Amino acid sequence: MKKQEGSVLLFDKHKYTWLIIGLVVTALGFLLMIGGKSDDPYVFDEAIFSFRRITLAPILVLGGYVIQIYAIMKKTTNKPDDPKGKRPATPIKTDFKKHKK
């Protein structure tokens, strides 16, 4: 599939960088929520209420989502491509009245 002349990509390098950062922060938040399981199913373990699982991990997940939304809403700096590397030709102004017979 050919790229259309003068087309602009939706995301540029900076947007992809921000998206990846947001994904990593979100994934880190979910990884921090893992754990807190008791070895004995009949014994309650207070580890599920640790600061890491209750406060830090959800803040990271929400922060990652905010970063991703920022990356999507950020204005693109891409400009239309010129396939030949030249400037577009300026339109020629003609006076058709002079050439009429």
Q: Given this model, what pLDDT does residue 67 score?
A: 97
Q: In 10 A of CB 67, how many CB atoms?
A: 19
Quick one: tokens of 69? Answer: 């939304």
CA–CA separation, 20 vs 76, rounded Å?
A: 16
Domain of 68, in residue numbers: 16-75
Q: Into how many domains does the chain fold?
A: 1
Whether residue 69 is contained in a domain is answered as yes
Whether residue 23 is contained in a domain is answered as yes
pLDDT tens per residue, range 56-72? 999 999 999 999 999 99
* pLDDT < 70 positions in the chain: 1-8, 80-101
Q: Given this model, what pLDDT does residue 89 score?
A: 57
Whether residue 62 is contained in a domain is answered as yes
